[in-house]
Structures are given as structure tokens and as C-alpha cells.
Structure 1
Amino acid sequence: MTDRDTGATPLLVLKKITAILSSFSLARPELGLAEIRSITGIPHSTVQRLVANMAQEGLLDRHGDKYRVGLRVAHWAAPATQGLDYLELITPVLQRLRDQLTETVCVFRASERQRVCVALAETRHILRRAVEVGSIMPLHVGSAGRVLLAWSPQLADEVYASGLSAITDQTITSPDELKRAVAQTRAEGYAITIGERVTSASGLSAPIFGPQAELFGALSVMGPTARMPRDVCESWVEPLLAAAEEATRLLGGRIPAAA
């Protein structure tokens, strides 16, 4: 690939290649030239030349009129993840989301009908929710619990049958009502809750998946409702979903097929 192909310096060419690769995601693994141009904003003729060269070098694979990230990229990625702990891989994602939204970001995993905080990027606000790595919380309350139940049907059935104790006046204590809330989370791909575990505290969560499309954990943003009313939480759904997808990709994960 030469400067003549784009009329740009090598650094600008590299930025354009990075933009093209970044346009692919788990939600859109195949893209046509027009879609790549629309997402990246790179002129059509430049996209056409760069994509052709990237396919020739194995950075992209062509499937009819569509392109995918090339298998050669996965081959290069393998040494980067060798020997790294999964949580070490995704911690930078938590930190970037924390810096973007300014609130505490956690990853929760299910354990013994509870949820445990396994990774944390803490807010820099003085007023914050008390949570640390190792914190244990009930599964039937909060947005992270909702996500963990939504993609763990057997666990969810156990929780429904175990008795749902009230923690605040917003806690769902009816199994049928909780089932409906969990079903909504599964359908929408995220959950927002306010005041279920701690009065005047909000949370929003989305799933992270592993290599076999299994649930790895729940990526959560949490903070006081004064800073996170429902409309703010709703405006943060897209950044949350993007971060959850990035974490899934770093784990070599894939989103499960729709039921």
C-alpha cells in the first residue's frame, strides 16, 4: 500500500486503516463498501482502494459484496492475549467508560445465588456508592443482577423460588414481576434500575459474553440517583453497550444467537 493510493502520509493511511477495521463489530461483522464509507466518513474512492489492498494483505476477508475482519488479524491477536488474565484484559475498558461517564464501573459475576464484584474502576466523585472488589450483593436486586439472571435461566429459576426479600421499597418481591423484568432485560440487552438495593442509587448494566457465547458477567455503571436519574441512565445505554461489546471482543467472545 503506498501514499499514492490515498494522497496521504503513512500515518494518515494507518489512521484510515484503523478506522476501517474499527467499523466492524460483533453486531455488524459484515459490511459493504458503502456501509464502511458511511461509518468512517472516508471518501468512496479511498475506501475502495484501501479495502482492496487490505483484502489482498489478509486484513479483511471478502464474502461476495461484503467484507469481514480477516482471520490473519485473529492470528496476530493471539500472542497479545497469551498469558493475560481475563480481568486484566478488560480493566482498561472499565477505566475508559468510567472516565467517559464519570461514575463507578464494575463487572459482576454470579456465585452461589449472589453476585460478586470482580473488577472495578471507581468514580473520582467524593459522593459515591460503597463497592469494592469482592463485594457480595443479592441477585434479585439491581441492574447487574437483572442481567445475570437474564442470561442464566437455571439460576434465575432458583432465585425466583428462593424467596425475594425486600431491601428497599423499590425492591421487586414478586417472582412473576421479576420474571417480567428479566425477560425485558433479555429482550432489550440491558437493564436500568433505581433504588432497588440502595435508596437513591441507580445502576445500568449490560452482558459480557465469553468464547462459547456464554455469559461472562455484567458490566455495570452505578452512582447516586441525583447524578444518575433515569433520563441520564437512558442516555448512557449506547456507551455502555459499546463497552460491553468491546469487553466481549477482548475475551474472544461472541454474542449468542437470538432465542
Structure 2
Amino acid sequence: MKDDIPVLDDPAGAVDSPAGDASDRDYVNSLARGLEVIKVFTRRTPKMTLSEVAQATGMTRATVRRFLLTLVREGYVDTNGKHFNLRPKILELGFSALSSMDIWDVAQPIMNELSEKLQESCFAAVLDHDSVIYVARATSNRRVNVGINIGSRVPAHCVSTGRVLLAALPPDLLHHYLDEMTLTKFTPNTITSKVQLRGLIDEVRLQGWSIVDQELEVGLRSLSVPVRDGQGKIVAALNVCCPSMRITPEEMRTRVLAETQAASNQITRALQM
């Protein structure tokens, strides 16, 4: 029985405390060491002996033994007497962290990775009446990035984020939106026919993504996909925006679309945990 496992008392900070840590009164060294023990278990090393954990962490066998037996008693680690391995309960630690995060805390690192992978600017936007508001952004290492700032507001009818978010509206709200709004023409490409715009929005709803080519600004092409929360509701649009001279429409429909959809799915999966 796990309750029979002897666990030695170990005051916080008293285990293998490295020089210099004692000067930081807020640093709990034993907690940090315990986390190091947990992190040595990976896909490549799912089961380890006490000696292997000690070698991987640089701690003594006695120290590692105390941490491992504590984790066993708390249900985070299992052992057959020789090898140790993490139990599914360890996932609760990650789930607790994710559940306490705002959606944009979860999305930001994923957007950063998407921007780095595509070497283009990425944004997230939400719908606000007849406009979209950009609420998150990630820029690439290129010298020239699209200059949209967090908090920027643009008309929803002429951007891909807007069409993705409009496509998520119930039919009655979409009808009201189209009935009340004025479709301002910003470039020769801007759609100003409500019938045509409704058709494009219906198409976006069916295919699950939108590409808008130079309708807000000449030389600017963008692609957007929906972002869903943990319950599957569309709460935002994830967007990749780039100069039209840099990426062709065909590249947008293939490579960029695939990577952006993968990033959106990753955000949703994280929010479902």
C-alpha cells in the first residue's frame, strides 16, 4: 500500500541547496528540485531507476529517493520497486495551469510559432458590431511586417477576419448586419455588393476559412480561420497577413492555410484540457 512508504521529512530549501540560493529567501529549493525530478521523465525515458534519475538530475540517490517516494504517495508517480514512471495524475498540473489562463495566454506562444514558421505577421481578431478588433499579434523576423497594432479596428466586410467571424453569426444576426451596414469601398477590389458579400460569407461558412485579396489596402493579402473555445464555439479569427508580392494566392490556399488551421486546432485543443 502506498501509505506504508516511508517518506523522510525534508525542510524546504534544505536539500542539496546550491550556493547562492540561501540569499534568496523566497526561493524554495526543494520545490525546484522536485520539479527537476518530474521533468527527467520523457517520451524517450518513461521509466527510470532511482540511480538513473539521480544521474540525470545531478542529485544524490538519497535526495532523489525522498522526492520519488513523496510523488508515489501523492499519486503522481508509480513504481514496481525498481523502476519509476509518471502516472496520469501528473496531467492535472498542466490542466490546472491551462484552465487558469486567458485564451490569449494560450494562443500567444502558438501564434509566435506560426509567425516564425511562415515568416509572416499573425493576428487574432474579434467581432465588434460592424468592425473587427485585433486583440493579439505576432511578428516575424522580416524587416517589413504588416503594421496592425493590438486594438486596431477595421471594417469587417473587407477583411478575412471579418468574414470568418460574420460566417459564425446566427442567420438572423447576419441578416441584420448586412441590412444595416454600409459597404465602403477602400480599393478597386473591395466588395460593395451585399448580395455578393452574403455569398462569400456563406462560402466561408462551408469551407471554414477566408482569403481576402487587397480589399482593405492595395498590396495586402490575408487568410483567416476560426478559433474555437473549449466548447467548440467560434470566439475569434486567427489571421496571417502578408504583402501580396511575397505570397501568391495559391500558396495562401495550400501551405499558409494548412499551417494556420493547425495552429488554430492547437489553440482549441489546449483550451479543451
TM-score of the alignment, normalized to the shorter chain, above 0.5: yes
1:45-91 C-alpha deviation (Å, 9 max, x unpaired): xxxxxxxxxxxx986xxxxxxxxxxxx68745431224322211110
Determine the C-alpha separation between the residues in 1 that align with 2:91 and 2:168.
Answer: 27
Q: 5 Å matches for 1:55-70?
A: none
Determine the C-alpha separation between the residues in 1 that align with 2:129 and 2:222.
Answer: 22
C-alpha change, 1:10 and 1:74, in structure 2 (3 Å) is: closer
Equivalent residue number for residue 223 of structure 2? 204
Residues 1:232 and 2:251 are matched in the alignment: yes
Shift, 1:183, TM fit: 1.1
Determine the C-alpha separation between the residues in 2 that align with 1:106 and 1:243.
Answer: 12
TM-score (norm 1): 0.68
Q: 5 Å matches for 1:132-171?
A: 132-153=149-170, 154-161=172-179, 162-171=181-190
Check the 8 A contact 1:105/1:221 in 2, yes or no: yes
Determine the C-alpha separation between the residues in 2 that align with 1:132 and 1:115.
Answer: 12
Residues 1:108 and 2:125 are matched in the alignment: yes
Q: 5 Å matches for 1:38-187?
A: 75-153=92-170, 154-161=172-179, 162-187=181-206
1:215-241 C-alpha deviation (Å, 9 max, x unpaired): 110000001001122012112111111
**Equivalent pairs, count:** 191
Q: Which amino acid aligns with 2:108?
A: T
Bigger CA drift: 243-252 or 130-139? 243-252
C-alpha change, 1:11 and 1:163, in structure 2 (3 Å) is: closer
Shift, 1:163, TM fit: 2.2
How much identity, in percent, do the aligned residues show? 25
Partner secondary structure for residue 109 of structure 2: helix
Check the 8 A contact 2:161/2:225 in 1, yes or no: yes
Shift, 1:13, TM fit: 5.4
C-alpha change, 1:223 and 1:155, in structure 2 (3 Å) is: farther
TM-score (norm 2): 0.64
C-alpha change, 1:173 and 1:10, in structure 2 (3 Å) is: closer
Equivalent residue number for residue 252 of structure 1? 272
1:168-197 C-alpha deviation (Å, 9 max, x unpaired): 111111111111111111111111111011
Structure exhibiting the larger radius of gyration computed from Cα positions: 2
Residues 1:12 and 2:31 are matched in the alignment: no
Equivalent residue number for residue 43 of structure 1? none
